[in-house]
């Protein structure tokens, strides 16, 4: 038996490892199983070049929990270690790496550190009072050895008997970490970190009492944990659509079938594999970020990938695997890493190319999926100029009247003669609520205008951004002015009313409505136009809408607290005013006008609460 001190200058390194190296203690299972995988893969390599002789047997990883003995054992059948290798790898190299790490990241917040430091074995001491290692090398005539350490710099190393090649790491779980003696917890951690590792992994609860078995049945002694050959590790040519869908269900058992997917497979100038899926998104509340999982050589690392995946693609689901993404640095460093930038750019390009391919080859399918796809595309156009360049070819606008679709160029061609204002800008007329704004849409369509739908959660921001990014384009909501003024301000036609009658109507329409700032104008509109039209000026309405989305604070709070601006345009040419002006009962005349004003406000969704109740009661009274 050999006893000695681990050669390390930092005497009290174990407490530092426990508290600083990994803020998330369950990481130890990932590190130890990953080491077991490495040992197994090394054996395969040595066998392939003839250095490891004989039959390798079944290569697998076993994780065994014995809560009664308070132990957790991770076993592999890999290369194993000789006494000299145990001394070298456990007593020397790992600790020199630990000291280097501590020196480099001293004083940093551990929450800003991302896993994997090549110190994986010592994560065992985060949860253990004592760690034992039993190892037998693949080399001929190698003696098995046992190494033991209790978390102090002292260790014990001795020869023992061990039947099989490989390494068993036995953790004697400490009192603070007894949560890791729960079989369900360990199985869940294995599923989280190890479900796609490339060597079969099995879990066994040594204390499990088998349920009463029927004749001929045997108790399940172990549970298979992983799929060693997940879809992303295969070539696209080896996979069918069904394979991709089944893998999606493996990742998200309760998710709907995705719209489509992109298989990433790059080996130069960086290594990147993975599969990204476009999920169905129909309502804003269904949007879920952090659904992309990052792996390094099939080892789960994190599902926080915002430094690697462009923000607009965080809505996608799936897996990215790259050994070239540095995992042992602060997130601030990660953002500036050249490999990470190249990977991010490559993912953006692949997504844009895929969308363009579907649009070009099957436009009908693309249009059918636009309700979900539109969110990705618009978000990308707002936040990534390179994506915007490509997306201009496949971004589409949906007609509010007949649900047909236009690209921007197609919309320009369809509206060239009617929807250019005097400054030469293309005016895109849009609706945010086709049902509520139907009367305005019909009036605009009657003049030959094309009104498109802009009704998603991000359209307000999208409109603002595209007015800056698209040349000579402006957006105008269809209810922001009377139809004649939507493209260019006009004086309006002649009104049949006298100046006195117009002044009387303007005074009658000057109704006071809580929380509304109402202005009134009398114009000579066409005979078939409504008697009064309520419009909301584009600028102020946009500011209020954006303030409502952004919440309180700053200018947002200023605009949010301002009353709604509404313009009531009275159509002096409508026949209804002949009777109203002739009405001798002042009270009835005021009620008739008030009802017309309320009808116009109702079309804008601005008549609520007590005002709506008064309108209903007044209408019933006028019918009597």
Residue 424, token pair as written in the block: 């030469």
Instruction: Report which secondary-structure segment, H or E, holds 619.
Output: helix 609-623
CA pair distance 525, 538, nearest whole angstrom: 21
Model confidence at 285, pLDDT cuts 50, 70, 90, reads very low
Residue 282 is part of a domain; what is its CATH number?
A: 3.30.230.80
Distance CA 599, CA 580 (A): 16
Q: Which helix (H) or strand (E) holds 65?
A: strand 61-66
Phi-psi region at 32: left, alpha or beta (left = phi > 0; alpha = psi -120 to 50): alpha
Strongest mean pLDDT among 7-21, 122-136, 200-214, 279-293 = 122-136
pLDDT the model gives residue 289: 62
**Does any domain span residue 380?**
no
Query: Are 563 and 515 spatial neighbours (Cβ–Cβ below 8 Å)?
Result: yes
Helical packing angle, 499-508 and 586-603, nearest 10°: 70
Kindly state whether residues 136 and 94 are assigned to the same domain.
Answer: yes
pTM over 0.85: no
Reduce the DSSP state of residue 300 to 3 states and report it. strand
Q: Is 552 helix (H, G, I), strand (E, B) or coil?
A: coil
Looking at the domain assignment, is residue 19 inside a domain? yes
224 falls within a domain: no
Lowest-confidence region among 288-292, 369-373, 475-479: 288-292
Gap between the Cα atoms of 357 and 354, Å rounded: 5
**Residue 465, CA distances (Å) to 114, 339, 458, 462 in order:** 34, 29, 11, 5
**Could you report the per-residue pLDDT of 136-149, keeping only the tens digit for each?**
999 988 999 999 98
pLDDT value at position 499? Answer: 87
pLDDT of residue 113: 38
Categorize the per-residue pLDDT at 429 as very low, low, confident or very high, splitting at 50, 70 and 90. very high
Q: What pLDDT, in 10s, does the model give residues 557-590?
A: 555 567 778 888 888 888 888 888 888 888 888 8
Q: Report phi then psi at 430, rounded to 5.
A: -140, 160
- What pLDDT, on a 0 to 100 scale, did the predictor assign at position 115? 38
Residue 214 placed within a domain: no
Q: pLDDT higher for 387 or 50?
A: 387
Residue 219 lies in a domain: no
Whether the pLDDT of residue 122 is over 50: the answer is: yes
Mean pLDDT along residues 401-416? 94
For residue 419, what pLDDT is reported? 92
Please tell me the least confidently modeled range out of 229-243, 308-322, 331-345.
Answer: 331-345
Query: What does the buried/exposed string (b/e) look like for 556-581 if buried means 16 or more CB atoms within 10 Å of the residue's CB?
Result: beebbeeebbbbbbbbbbbeebeebb
Lowest mean pLDDT across 153-162, 520-529, 535-544, 593-602? 535-544
Same domain, 114 and 193: yes
Within a domain: 377: no
| Tokens of residue 583, six digits | 């009405």
* Chain segment 258-277, per-residue pLDDT in tens: 999 999 998 878 888 999 99
Query: Same domain for 144 and 64?
Result: yes
* pLDDT tens digits, 1-42: 666 565 554 444 555 555 555 557 788 898 899 889 988 988
Classify residue 342 by burial, with Cβ atoms within 10 Å: 0-12, 13-18, 19+.
middle
- Which of 434, 455, 490 represents a domain boundary (last residue)? 490
pLDDT at 64: 96
Nearest alpha-carbon partner for 267 in 302, 292, 235: 235
Query: d(Cα 543, Cα 547) in Å, to the nearest integer?
Result: 6
Last residue of a domain, one of 490, 515, 532: 490
The end-to-end CA distance of the chain, in Å, is 108
Q: Diameter of the chain by CA atoms?
A: 118
- Return the higher-pLDDT residue of 53 and 195: 195
Collapsing DSSP to helix, strand or coil, 103 comes out as: helix
pLDDT of residue 299: 85
How far, in Å, CA of 319 to CA of 329, rounded?
Answer: 21
Confidence at residue 13, expressed as pLDDT on a 0 to 100 scale: 54
- In this structure, the dihedral spanned by the alpha carbons of residues 66, 72, 78 and 79, taken in order and rounded to 10 degrees, is -120
As separate numbers, helices (DSSP H) first and strands (DSSP E) second, the chain gives 20, 22
Of the two residues 136 and 624, the one the predictor is more confident about is: 136
Burial degree of 461 (CB within 10 A; 0-12, 13-18, 19+):
middle
> Which pLDDT score, from 0 to 100, does residue 14 have?
58
Are 17 and 148 within one domain? yes
Is there a single domain that holds both residue 95 and residue 184?
yes
Give the domain-ending residue among 465, 490, 515.
490
- Looking at the structure, tell me whether residues 448 and 515 fall in a common domain: no
Supply the pLDDT for residue 201. Answer: 96
Query: What CATH code is carried by the domain that includes residue 551?
Result: 1.20.120.790
Can you give the CATH number for the domain in which 402 is found?
3.40.50.11260
The stretch 99-128 carries a mean pLDDT of 57
Do 146 and 82 form a contact (C-beta atoms < 8 A)? no
Q: What is the pLDDT of residue 476?
A: 92
Encode pLDDT of 510-563 as tens digits.
Answer: 877 777 788 888 888 877 788 888 888 777 777 777 666 655 455 555 555 677
Sheet harboring 564-571: ordered strands across? 516-523, 564-571, 532-535
Predicted local distance difference test score (pLDDT) of residue 493: 63
The count of domains in the chain is 4
Judgement on whether residues 161 and 261 belong to the same structural domain of the protein: no
- How large a percentage of the chain has pLDDT more than 90? 39
Report if residue 585 sits inside a domain.
Answer: yes
Q: Is residue 222 part of a domain?
A: no
pLDDT the model gives residue 111: 39
Token pair for 430: 């849009």
More confident residue, 535 or 232: 232
Clarify whether residues 201 and 59 are in a common domain: yes
Separation of alpha carbons 365 and 244, rounded Å: 19
Same domain, 34 and 162: yes
Most confident range, picked from 285-294, 316-325, 380-389: 380-389
Q: Are residues 257 and 197 part of one domain?
A: no
- Both tokens assigned to 299: 């080892």
Higher pLDDT, 27 or 133: 133
Mean pLDDT of 147-159: 86
**pLDDT given for residue 555 in this prediction:** 53
State pLDDT tens for residues 176-191: 899 999 999 999 999 9
pLDDT digits (tens, 9 = 90+) for 442-476: 999 998 999 999 998 889 889 999 999 999 999 99
Give the H/E segment covering residue 145: strand 144-149
The answer to which of 79-83, 247-251, 375-379, 487-491 has the lowest mean pLDDT is 487-491
pLDDT reported for residue 506: 85
- Of residues 538 and 418, the one with the higher pLDDT is 418
Instruction: Say if residue 66's pLDDT is above 50.
Output: yes
Is 517 in the same domain as 623?
A: yes
pLDDT per position as a tens digit, 235-250 = 999 999 999 999 999 9
For 92, the domain range is: 2-208
174 and 277 housed in the same domain: no
pLDDT of residue 428: 95
């Amino acid at each position: 038996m050999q006893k000695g001190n681990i050669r390390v200058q930092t005497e009290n390194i174990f407490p530092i490892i426990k508290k600083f190296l990994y803020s998330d203690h369950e990481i130890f299972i990932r590190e130890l199983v990953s080491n077991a995988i490495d040992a197994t893969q090394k054996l395969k390599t040595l066998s392939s070049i003839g250095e490891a002789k004989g039959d390798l047997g079944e290569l697998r990883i076993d994780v065994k929990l014995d809560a009664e003995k308070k132990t957790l054992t991770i076993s592999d059948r890999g290369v194993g270690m000789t006494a000299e290798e145990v001394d070298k790898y456990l007593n020397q190299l790992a600790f020199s790496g630990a000291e280097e790490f501590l020196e480099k990241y001293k004083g940093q917040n551990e929450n800003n550190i991302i896993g994997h430091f090549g110190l994986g074995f010592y994560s065992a001491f985060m949860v253990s009072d004592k760690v034992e290692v039993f190892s037998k090398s693949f080399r001929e005539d190698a003696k098995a050895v046992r190494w033991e350490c209790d978390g102090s710099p002292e260790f014990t190393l001795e020869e023992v008997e061990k039947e099989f090649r490989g390494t068993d790491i036995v953790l004697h779980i400490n009192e603070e970490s007894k949560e890791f003696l729960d079989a369900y917890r360990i199985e869940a951690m294995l599923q989280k970190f190890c479900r796609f590792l490339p060597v079969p992994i099995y879990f066994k609860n040594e204390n499990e009492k088998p349920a009463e078995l029927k004749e001929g049945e045997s108790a399940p002694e172990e549970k298979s944990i992983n799929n060693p050959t997940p879809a992303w590790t295969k070539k696209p040519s080896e996979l069918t659509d069904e394979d991709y869908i089944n893998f999606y269900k493996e990742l998200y058992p309760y998710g709907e079938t995705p719209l489509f997917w992109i298989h990433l497979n790059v080996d130069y100038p960086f290594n990147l594999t993975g599969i990204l899926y476009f999920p169905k998104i129909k309502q804003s509340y269904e949007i879920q970020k952090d659904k992309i999982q990052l792996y390094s050589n099939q080892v789960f690392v994190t599902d926080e990938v915002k430094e690697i995946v462009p923000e607009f693609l965080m809505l996608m689901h799936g897996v990215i695997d790259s050994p070239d993404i540095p995992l042992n640095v602060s997130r601030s460093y990660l953002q500036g890493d050249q490999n990470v930038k190249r990977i991010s750019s490559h993912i953006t390009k692949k997504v844009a190319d895929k969308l363009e391919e579907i649009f070009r080859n099957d436009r009908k399918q693309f249009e059918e999926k636009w309700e979900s796809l539109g969110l990705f595309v618009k978000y990308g156009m707002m936040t990534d100029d390179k994506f915007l360049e490509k997306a201009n070819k496949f971004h589409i606008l949906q007609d509010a009247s007949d649900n047909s679709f236009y690209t921007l160029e197609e919309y320009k061609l369809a509206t060239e003669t009617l929807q250019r204002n005097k400054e030469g800008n293309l005016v895109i007329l849009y609706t945010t609520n086709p049902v509520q704004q139907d009367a305005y849409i019909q009036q605009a369509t009657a003049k030959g205008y094309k009104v498109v739908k802009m009704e998603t959660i991000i359209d307000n921001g999208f409109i603002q951004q595209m007015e800056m990014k698209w040349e000579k384009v402006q957006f105008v909501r269809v209810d922001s002015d009377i139809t004649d003024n939507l493209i260019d301000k006009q004086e309006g036609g002649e009104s049949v009313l006298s100046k006195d009658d117009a002044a009387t109507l303007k005074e009658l329409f000057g109704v006071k409505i809580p929380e509304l700032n109402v202005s009134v104008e009398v114009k000579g509109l066409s005979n078939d136009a409504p008697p009064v039209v309520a419009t909301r000026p584009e600028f102020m309405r946009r500011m209020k809408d954006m303030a409502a989305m952004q919440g309180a604070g700053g200018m947002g709070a200023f605009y949010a607290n301002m009353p709604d601006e509404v313009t009531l345009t009275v159509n002096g040419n409508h026949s209804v005013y002949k009777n109203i002006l002739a009405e001798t009962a002042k009270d009835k005349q005021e009620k008739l006008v008030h009802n017309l004003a309320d009808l116009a406000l109702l079309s804008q969704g601005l008549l609520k609460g007590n005002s709506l109740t008064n309108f209903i009661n007044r209408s019933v009274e006028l019918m009597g």
